[in-house]
């Protein structure tokens, strides 16, 4: 295990994590906001959310390179989603996948472009949590969202649109857009990665 993996997070690391968490959240929000208002396009919100944040996510890994930084990001984003009225599974999805992403990136000591990119794809799939519950328990999901202030007509249109093809397309689109975002991030941050010792 490398020295960076052994050492705990410093105050500087926590500040860096906080700043980048805010930036990632903004990019996730901006990317997804074009899809969320439409009850048909909403299934592709995770794909939109994953399109922009890759470079910022990868730069945070390069800056910190320690266990729990990505997990802390997941905790903060989970709390924000929950308190703003998103479905609990949407918030929880980001938390679970952020922890998974942390361990994947950590397997390469946060220095593998490939594993860091896979970590970002996993993180982005956190946005599918609410939709997984929607497909598994449509009525329970609807009751929760009605309680959160979602209109019945919106839910009715979602339920009329939903099918297995939409579910598969949602996952495929989210993986593709987040992979593109990670690829672009790797190209944009080549010099920063070299300085941080991040390789293939």
Strand locations in the chain, DSSP E? none
Rounded distance between C-alpha atoms, residue 48 and residue 87, angstroms: 18
Nearest partner of 123 among 29, 22, 24, 36, judged by Cα: 24
How much is the pLDDT for 4?
47
How much is the pLDDT for 5?
52
Nearest partner of 40 among 200, 165, 126, 190, judged by Cα: 165
Per-domain boundaries in the chain: 3-190
How much is the pLDDT for 199?
81
How much is the pLDDT for 98?
98
Average pLDDT for consecutive 10-residue bins of the chain (200 residues)?
63 96 97 95 97 97 95 97 94 98 97 97 97 96 94 96 96 98 94 84
With both helix axes pointing from N to C terminus, report the angle between 54-64 and 113-124 in degrees, rounded to the nearest 10. 130
How much is the pLDDT for 192?
86
How much is the pLDDT for 3?
42
């Amino acid at each position: 295990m490398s020295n960076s993996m052994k050492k705990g997070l410093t105050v500087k690391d926590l500040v860096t994590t906080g700043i980048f968490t805010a930036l990632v959240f903004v990019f996730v929000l901006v990317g997804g906001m074009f899809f969320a208002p439409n009850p048909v396009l909403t299934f592709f919100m995770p794909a939109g959310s994953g399109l922009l944040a890759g470079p910022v996510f990868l730069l945070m890994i390069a800056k910190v390179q320690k266990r729990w930084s990505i997990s802390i990001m997941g905790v903060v984003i989970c709390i924000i989603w929950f308190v703003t009225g998103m479905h609990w599974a949407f918030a929880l999805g980001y938390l679970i996948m952020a922890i998974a992403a942390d361990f994947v990136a950590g397997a390469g000591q946060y220095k593998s472009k490939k594993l860091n990119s896979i970590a970002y794809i996993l993180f982005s799939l956190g946005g599918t949590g609410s939709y997984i519950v929607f497909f598994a328990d449509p009525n329970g999901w609807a009751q929760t969202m009605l309680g959160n202030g979602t209109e019945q007509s919106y839910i009715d249109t979602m339920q009329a649109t939903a099918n297995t093809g939409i579910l598969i397309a949602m996952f495929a689109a989210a993986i593709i857009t987040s992979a593109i975002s990670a690829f672009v991030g790797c190209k944009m941050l080549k010099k920063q990665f070299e300085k941080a010792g991040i390789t293939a």
